[in-house]
């Protein structure tokens, strides 16, 4: 009679260890390319990694810029255009890249404190109620005519 109870006692910790918290989503590789024209918006990029469950990024906040929006480059009637987006799905165990020429963040009015520090803190608002805090490295503008500069200048009308 003692043997079955001993086996249960030994097996219980192993069974419970499989019931741990699900792996959370996270964000890394965050960076901001400053616009060569301080009056034009700058662009931000990162990689969002899905955890055990899918989640949405519903917004991004920062105390270091006047305004931040999520945008997406799309082909429309043979012309590449950029449009604001409200949310982005991050699939379970998948990843979504915000990269030049695709999804990206737009920042208006990045303050000098962040520029001098070389980084700025971003707060990602997730659909599961979590807020992910991420430091984004600030990179200086590319030379005139470079792809990132051209992309930033395309947003001057926003």
Task: Encode pLDDT of 22-75 as tens digits.
Answer: 788 999 999 999 999 989 999 999 999 999 999 999 999 999 999 999 999 988
Any bridge partners for residue 139, and if so which? 33
pLDDT exceeds 80 at position 1: no
Regarding predicted confidence, which is higher, 7 or 46?
A: 46
In the predicted model, what is the mean pLDDT of residues 10-14? 51
pTM: 0.77
Residues ≥6 apart with Cβ < 8 Å to 48: 25, 26, 27, 57, 88, 90, 95, 96, 97, 98, 124
Q: Cα–Cα distance between 15 and 8 in angstroms, integer?
A: 10
> pLDDT tens across 127-140, in order?
999 999 999 999 98
Q: Cα–Cα distance between 81 and 136 in angstroms, integer?
A: 25
> pLDDT tens across 95-112, in order?
999 999 999 999 999 999
Given this model, what pLDDT does residue 11 score? 53
Per DSSP (E only), the strands in 12-130 are: 26-33, 42-49, 55-61, 67-76, 79-85, 88-90, 95-98, 103-108, 119-126
Given this model, what pLDDT does residue 48 score? 98
Q: Are 104 and 43 in contact (CB under 8 A)?
A: yes
Q: Cα–Cα distance between 127 and 24 in angstroms, integer?
A: 12
In the predicted model, what is the mean pLDDT of residues 68-89? 94
* Average confidence score pLDDT of the chain: 85
């Amino acid at each position: 009679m003692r043997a079955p109870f001993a086996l249960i006692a030994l097996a219980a910790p192993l069974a419970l260890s499989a019931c741990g918290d699900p792996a959370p989503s996270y964000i890394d590789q965050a960076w901001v390319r400053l616009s060569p024209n301080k009056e034009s918006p700058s662009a931000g990029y990162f990689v969002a990694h899905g955890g055990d469950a899918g989640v949405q990024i519903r917004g991004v906040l920062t105390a270091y810029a006047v305004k931040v929006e999520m945008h997406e480059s799309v082909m429309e009637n043979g012309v590449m255009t950029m449009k604001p987006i409200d949310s982005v799905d991050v699939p379970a165990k998948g990843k979504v890249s915000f990269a030049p020429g695709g999804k990206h963040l737009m920042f208006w009015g990045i303050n000098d404190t962040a520029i001098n520090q070389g980084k700025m803190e971003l707060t990602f608002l997730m659909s599961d109620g979590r807020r992910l805090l991420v430091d984004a490295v600030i990179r200086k503008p590319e030379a005139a005519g470079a792809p990132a500069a051209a992309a930033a200048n395309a947003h001057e009308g926003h």
